[in-house]
Structure 1
Amino acid sequence: MTATRIGLAGYGSGGRIFHAPLLAAAADVEFTGVVTRSPERRAELAKGYPDVPAYDSIADLAAAGAEAVVISTPAATHTDLAREAIGLGLAVVVDKPFALDAEAAREVVTLAEEAGVPLTVYQNRRFDSDFLTVRRLMDEGALGEVRRFESRFERWDPDRRPKAAGGGTLLDFGAHLVDQAHVLFGPVSRVYAELRTDDGELDSDVFVALHHDSGVESHLWGSIRQAAPGPRFRVSGTTGTYIVDGLDGQEAMLKAGRSPAALGERWGVEPEHAWGRLYRGKTGAPVRSERGRWDSFHPAFAAAVRGEGPLPVDPWDSVRAMDVLDAARMSATTGETVDLGQRPQGVSTTR
């Protein structure tokens, strides 16, 4: 089988830590180059991947034979670079947040469809150990009928300043939080949100409440100013509640310089002390965590580029999530619940 030639645009923390090791380890993928003009980043690339060349532009990457590109640059540049890549005929992965608003996201997805170019969004948190465990418990009926979904990305990072280029915590963490809620419980009809800013900055602390058409209520928190983070998930059903603390360990693995290439089948395996618990009243029992599978995203994308499987994430899912995030910002501004009503969320106009 011929490997899919995939390049990377951007070699900051996102590209260097969250994509390069996974691309280098991915089956049936040739990590074909990195677009960066920074001398510092080029030196880091040469040290970490001496056989992977650097390029000045996505056009140069395409001219060198790349079939696809992963865009891992500041969020404000995502849509412009995606349009450029689509124009060059490159299949595209866009890091989250896909765009700064739903209108821009919808425009890029439509452009890709019209050009016949595969486009997906790096919603890697769909492949978290804890999230996959929630899906398994729901499939098994272990929780009964889920009534409330509580999900948190909360960190204590008081020196961090949300950057305008990233859209603030609502987009940074909310892109994952809303996507996961959508995957589990479907479309949203009502949105209420509260955002906190510090010293005139972008939002650093957010709360979003979603009412799903399925009847489930999702309560989502995102913060970089939370000194005592709450449970990662609390999923409450009619026959049981699942609670898990802490973040999936794949991020820590990558930051520590570990990769699927070195760990093999041990990649993404959570230690028993990090497992969640299933409660029925006062009784709680540990639940084996599913193996985290961030390492499955790029091979699935590569297969889709070759026409051998579906995209790992339908880009219209991310447009739908952006509709909800836009509504959340409106709600936080007005103090009122936003009714999405029967308005289609992230529906292709060309299908």
Structure 2
Amino acid sequence: MRIGLVGYGKGGRFFHAPLIASLTDATFVGVVTRSPERRQALACDYPQVQAFASLSELVAAGVDVVAISTPLAARHGQILEAIELGVSVVSDKPFAQDQDQARELIEAARQRGVLLSVYQNRRWDSDFLTVRKLIDSGALGRVARFESSVERYSPTSVGKLSGGGVLRDLGSHLVDQAQLLFGPVQQVYAELQYATPHHEVDHSFFVALTHASGVVSHLSGSCLQNCPRPRFRISGSNGCYTVDGLDVQEEQALAGHTPLSIGDNWGVEEHRRWGWFEHGEHRERVPSERGCWLRYYQQLQMAVDTGAANPVDPLEALNTTRVLDAARQSASKGCVVTL
């Protein structure tokens, strides 16, 4: 597989490039970026990877797939351009600004006959994989409430938020994970806190989802929280699982590591970061599963090469977008929205 990347900001540089560069039987062809600073960073990080001025130039160099990791406002047009050029596309999240835009992208890919996938890398976080294992094994019993939160204190992030703020950004991950575990959502209630008095973007959110399965998910995110909640707390009839902090892969990527450079240490959580299972007075550590964002691209590679399943179907991303749209409507009107 020959793959290219559009955008070399934080997302492209740290959340896509290290994985693309670590794929076996694949070639990292190039990156589209016009910024002199980012071109310099690319040359330092991956000297063999060429910089291109446009998506059309990258495609002309010969690629099977392009991963698009640019600001949401520009991403829609770039995805459509890549689809029209006939190459498979990986869209970073958020997938779209609203569900109408998401449907447009899905229909364009269908008509052109190209694969369209959405980069939901946090399906392969160590903590989420551990949660899935505990639920699938029945260790928690019947789950009644699922609590999922990504909160941090990063005031410099507020001015960089776009396309729906933290709800659309972090919420894309949290809603995707909740639906993957517990199925379709029937009702949505949300509260948003805004970064400006003009309500342009939110810096914090709380969303309550009622799934058709009967499970209730409480999701929250913030970039202005000094004291974050646990990353996960799942309450079941047989006990409760909690875990703090974020998956180690983000830390490793921001430190300049890749799955190729550190091998078996990639995605491995040290025991002090493991979560807890508790039932009454019983309390025990739960070893974390190994995180592996690289699996997304490995599965994408199989989908492109052999026609295997898409690692993240865009229809799943459409469902997530519908929930996020409902959350914004709920917060605006102060009501529960039924889907």
Matched residues in 1 for 2:272 and 2:103: separation? 42
Give the Å deviation of 1:10.
0.3
Question: Which residue does 1:36 correspond to in 2?
Answer: 33
Deviations 1:145-196 (A, max 9, x none): 1100000010011232154634200001100010000000000000000000
Q: Which runs of 4+ in 1 moved over 6 A?
A: none
Whether the 8 Å contact between 1:162 and 1:204 is mirrored in structure 2 is no
For the pair 1:148 / 2:145, whether they are aligned, the reply is: yes
By how many angstroms is 1:308 displaced?
4.3
Normalising by structure 1, what TM-score?
A: 0.94
Give the secondary structure class of the aligned counterpart of 1:62: helix
Report the Cα distance in structure 1 between the residues aligned to 2:54 and 2:162, rounded to whole angstroms: 20
Report the Cα offset of residue 107 of structure 1.
1.1
Letter in 2 for 1:107: E
Counterpart position of 1:192: 189
- CA positional deviation for 1:310: 1.1
Q: Assess if the C-alpha contact under 8 Å between 2:193 and 2:204 holds in 1.
A: yes
Report if the CA contact (8 A) 2:68-2:79 is conserved: yes
* 2:171 maps to which of 167, 171, 174: 174
> What residue in structure 2 maps to residue 252 of structure 1?
251
* 2-structure distance, mates of 1:17, 1:334: 38
SS in 2 for 1:204: strand
Question: Offset of 1:139 from its aligned partner?
Answer: 1.1
CA deviation vs aligned residue, 1:235-283 (integer Å, no higher than 9, x gap): 0111111000111110000001111111112210111110001110232
Q: What is the Cα-based RMSD across aligned positions, in Å?
A: 1.1
Structure 1 position 53 matched with structure 2 position 83: no
Q: 1:349: which partner in 2?
A: none
Partner of 1:131: 128
Q: 2:333 matched to 1:338?
A: no
- Note the alpha carbon deviations across 1:47-106, whole angstroms, 9 max, x for none: 111111111111111110111100000011221111000000010000000111111011
3-state SS in 1 of match to 2:316: helix
Structure 1 partner of 2:61: 64
Q: Deviations over 1:205-243 (max 9, x none)?
A: 100000000000000001011100010000011111100
Q: How many residues align?
A: 337
Q: Deviations over 1:20-54 (max 9, x none)?
A: 11110112221010001111111111111111111
Aligned equivalent of 1:158, options 139, 155, 167? 155
Please say if residues 230 and 245 of structure 2, whose CA atoms lie closer than 8 Å, have aligned partners that are also in contact.
Answer: yes
- In the alignment, residue 252 of structure 1 is paired with which amino acid? E
Specify which of 96, 105, 127 is matched with residue 99 of structure 1: 96
User: Larger deviation: 274-283 or 328-337?
Assistant: 274-283
Match of 2:239 in 1: 240
| 1:6 aligned to which of 3, 6, 30 | 3
Give the Cα separation in 2 of the matches to 1:89 and 1:282: 59
Query: 1:346 corresponds to which residue?
Result: none
CA deviation digits over 1:260-314, x for unaligned, max 9?
Answer: 1111122101111100011102321001110001011112112211124211111
Give the unaligned 5+ runs of structure 1.
341-351
Give the match's secondary structure for 2:177.
Answer: helix
Within 2, Cα distance between the matches of 1:170 and 1:67? 32
- Look up the match of 1:345: none
Contact 2:150 2:170 survives alignment (8 Å):
yes
Counterpart residue number, 1:27: 24
Any idea what SS the aligned residue of 1:190 has? Answer: strand
Structure 1 residues 239 and 164: alpha-carbon distance in aligned structure 2, compared to 1, 3 A threshold: closer
